[in-house]
Structure 1
């Protein structure tokens, strides 16, 4: 175990750690145009690039660094890399598949640099290298007439995630965060890829896994209830397992409670700032969100907490203040 990993686990035993909030929300606030995404390097690119937020780590890194700094200043212990869709297969939509490794390295380096700016002996800051869910699902047919039809295979996902993981490690990530899991088979491919890279490259980082409940049925997109999701991935022996996205803290509470009840690992959560309104915007104010999270912490649910869609540095600061004096959840089994 590296010194950084040991330090992270030591801090987790002492207090609830704070994850950052939404990256996409903060980028949207900057009202970027096509040229902002292209920069000089991709000025003549054949595909539209507006909205390809991951590319900003190459074309406009100062914007991403500033957002990282805002979350660090708000009290985040852990910041996430800006590479949510940066796998080879996802990048094909923009004809950027050849840049997957470079984007992952750059995203991790940028987060590492800003985290180090804020790190002190009393409050070290950590970088979670993100492996997003992939746009394509390995479990669900893409053809109503062919139940076996798939947009992507397990092996293709493993290749994607292996490349991304190596990039994140090279860039200086402390943690690998497999997040917004809607298809557990995709997540299993990510876990297999990460563990294989660790074995082959003689390196090991803590793994965080975070699933997403997609609707009021309390199931993932591929039909698993919270306990089934946990049991499908507990073999990874993650540092934390938890839930993020899709729901606000009011709606997500019962599922975080369930994860906390059964998990042998630590528990993480980063809910949305409420549910989107008719304009697709999130209205839950920082203090209101923090009240929900304080109650979760008082109930003994949490080891790591942050925000997802619609959250901002103000939300993260309010959450950090709300849980500062509350003890973390006691793990049933230290992995």
Structure 2
């Protein structure tokens, strides 16, 4: 399988991934409870504008509008029989915008969790999970996605199922966990253990890492654990733009472009090779991150204390201090961004 990420990393050293999908689509008129994936058909011009905004801000990697694109998520909107076409259209839109960029931009097919628990904790079998992910990834590949971008995961078995599906379909893959529960994923996976999740599969991941979570300081602490555990690995970090704050009925994120720029510098110093933003990250935030990465020479590896001094206090203890997390709780049905 061709690996576009390694080729671009060899050229640029550090890559900038895009920012939030959901937050920016809500600003464009998406309603709460509405499936963003349906906009690939009903409002493709808005999805094009999203991708174009991130490319104009300097993104090297854009993620398709397909986070909830499995049959299990789409059934909530009576669209479970349209998995292939909605994912294909998501990739086609991103591919079309990337091809007009005037420079190399990688189209990554966003693959989020099913929202179901795998056996024995839930009803979904591992084999059925692989089939569901493969159905989605087939559509993404047909539309022009170059890599399966498995993200916001909590359960190791679900990560493996999605990875196995990508291998079956013939796409290279990355995966990221969301370390939002006492420094671990909701199902108890610690950052240092992220690398081992796909061991034994026929193809290795292109990159692994973390996304979403509870803000820049916490995800940077997780990054330190991941790069310390396997310094040679290509590690992704795609953190939220601060923490959400309610202002009346609207949700705002506390991160400023200046904070996100410093987060990007700290991510480089902590060993990340692919850096982006998740919930709340706008075009302006991403442009500040682009400038920060371009203007920064890798410096000393920061401590957690230095991270807190520069980008704010952690909201959780690091995984190494949190003890074993309680598994078996039902995963939240999150929408990326």
TM-score (norm 2): 0.82
- 2:13 and 2:295 map into 1 onto residues whose CA distance is 8
- Which of 130, 155, 179 is the aligned partner of 2:110? 130
- Which of 269, 283, 290 is the aligned partner of 2:254? 283
Which residue of structure 2 lines up, in the alignment, with residue 183 of structure 1? 155
What count of residue pairs does the alignment treat as equivalent?
A: 292
Which residue of structure 2 lines up, in the alignment, with residue 37 of structure 1? none
Which residue of structure 1 lines up, in the alignment, with residue 264 of structure 2? 293
Which residue of structure 2 lines up, in the alignment, with residue 318 of structure 1? 288
> 1:177-256 maps to which residues of 2 (within 5 A)?
177-198=149-170, 205-215=171-181, 217-235=182-200, 236-256=203-223
Change (3 A) 1:163 1:28: same
> Is the partner of 2:29 in helix, strand or coil?
coil
- 2:68 and 2:259 map into 1 onto residues whose CA distance is 30
What's the CA shift for 1:234?
Answer: 4.4
Does 2:242 match 1:274? yes
- 2:148 and 2:184 map into 1 onto residues whose CA distance is 24
Q: Deviations over 1:255-288 (max 9, x none)?
A: 1011112234301110000122245431211111
**Structure 1 unmatched runs, 5+:** 34-48, 140-147, 199-204, 330-335
Which residue of structure 2 lines up, in the alignment, with residue 87 of structure 1? 70
CA contact (8 A) 2:194 2:209 kept: no
> 1:84-163 maps to which residues of 2 (within 5 A)?
84-120=67-103, 124-138=104-118, 148=120, 150-163=122-135
**Structure 2 unmatched runs, 5+:** 300-337
- Which of 60, 66, 76 is the aligned partner of 1:77? 60
Q: Deviations over 1:82-114 (max 9, x none)?
A: 011111121111111001110110000000000
CA contact (8 A) 1:15 1:324 kept: no
CA contact (8 A) 2:19 2:282 kept: yes
What's the CA shift for 1:228?
Answer: 2.4
CA contact (8 A) 1:24 1:53 kept: yes
CA contact (8 A) 1:237 1:265 kept: no
> Is the partner of 1:193 in helix, strand or coil?
helix
- Which of 36, 45, 57 is the aligned partner of 1:53? 36
CA contact (8 A) 1:16 1:327 kept: no
- Which of 255, 258, 265 is the aligned partner of 2:233? 265
- 1:249 and 1:94 map into 2 onto residues whose CA distance is 32
Does 2:25 match 1:9? no
